Each structure stands twice: as C-alpha cells, then as structure tokens.
Structure 1
Amino acid sequence: MRRLGELEAEIMDRFWRWNRPATVREVVDDIQRDRNVAYTTVTTVTTILFHKGHLTRTRDGRIWSYQAAATREAYAAALMEDGLEATDDRKGALVHFVENLDEEEIAALRTALRNVGRRDGA
C-alpha cells in the first residue's frame, strides 16, 4: 500500500475523524478553513481515493456521500505490513521497530499479542 499524498491524507483525515458519511462539499468547506482548495480538485482526489479502495460511496440523489472504507489504524497497520515486506529479515525489522516504542506502546503490543494468542486458541 502506497502512502497517501498530502491532499489525500487531508481528505482521509476528515473521514477518519468524522467517522460518518460526508460529501465533497463538506470536505472542501472544512479544508478551506485552513487554506484554499478547488472543489474540482477535492472531487478528483476523493474519486481517486474511492477507486483505490480507501473510501466507499453511496448516491443520495445527484450527490455522492463518501465514507472511510477502513479505520486509520487499519491503514497504518497495512503500511507497517508493507514495510515488513521490504526486507528479507522480518524478525530483524520487528526488533528495530519495537526498540523505538515507548513503554505505553510496548504494553499495548503485549496486550495485543496476548489477545491474538487467545483468539487463535493458543
């Protein structure tokens, strides 16, 4: 999975934060609180995000409503998985990754590993 571009990330951030369907107009209006952006540009990028599978959409009359297809956390996990694919030494990469975690993140990782073990019947 390729990292999101700057405007793609701005658009996805809204959908992840809002956690609800929204129109391109809503996204444009929110982005324009910080900077100018063309409605047509946001429409194009939103359509691209839909075709890449990052967004789902439903038609409401003549207008599309979009919603995030997965959570921000699922997106981040997919990026981490892709990072692991970049090496022949996945275990080594994991060690380097864990070495950079703080205590709270390590505790969360331990909890996740225990929960996965229970789910798999281990």
Structure 2
Amino acid sequence: MANAKFEKVILAVDDEATVLKMMEHLLKRKFSGCYVASNGKEALNLLEKGVQIDFVITDISMPVMDGYELRKKIFQFNPNIPVIAITGHTDEEHLKKLEEYHFTKVFFKPFNKADLESIGEVIKNI
C-alpha cells in the first residue's frame, strides 16, 4: 500500500526549474495528476482554463506573480482549494504575512523528499 496514489490532482508552482522538476517527479508518484507552472500567472491561467485542481503547492518568491498574490487569486476563484506555501524566508515579517494569507501548510526551504511526501498526510487531514 506504500505505493498507493492519492486520487487528487495537484498543481506545483515554482520559478526554479530544477526544484519544479523535482517536485513534479515526486508528486506524480504520489498523486493521480500533477500540473506544473513556473509562476503564479501561469498557475492561475490553468485554473481559468478549467483545469480541475484539488491542491496547490507554491513557492512564495517568484517573478510575474508571487505566491501571496496567487493565494489571494485562488481564494477568489475557489476558496475551497487548499494552498501549501514553500519559502526560504524565516524572518518575522514573512512569517506574519504567511499567517495572514492562511496557507494550509508552510514548508521551509531547503525542503527534502520526505517533506514533499508528507503532503499526502496534509491532504488526508483536511
């Protein structure tokens, strides 16, 4: 049962190509579907085109549209889509802002394979 997939479609968003590729590789093994986008605008375009997403995991610091703006737009689009944040910022100002935007969960960089694999547990508990 360890190889069982969650019947969920996840959208991974990160502007770092190597991080995005790693996330895509790991998430495709855990979820029935996985889309990727290199910034918030690309991610939002997928949702606006009607792609059904159950969950979003997004970097915070990205060009074009950052993770905060993406979180806000997703909430306006569909408040029921959970959003996980990934960030390297641990200063008090950023931690407060993360809390204000009501992310479902926050992972801090550098994150590892075990962190990504724990996303399934986060989903089960929602």
**TM-score (ref. length: structure 2):** 0.24
Judging by fraction of residues, say which structure has more helix: 1
Give the strand-richer structure, 1 or 2. 2
- TM-score by structure 1 length? 0.24
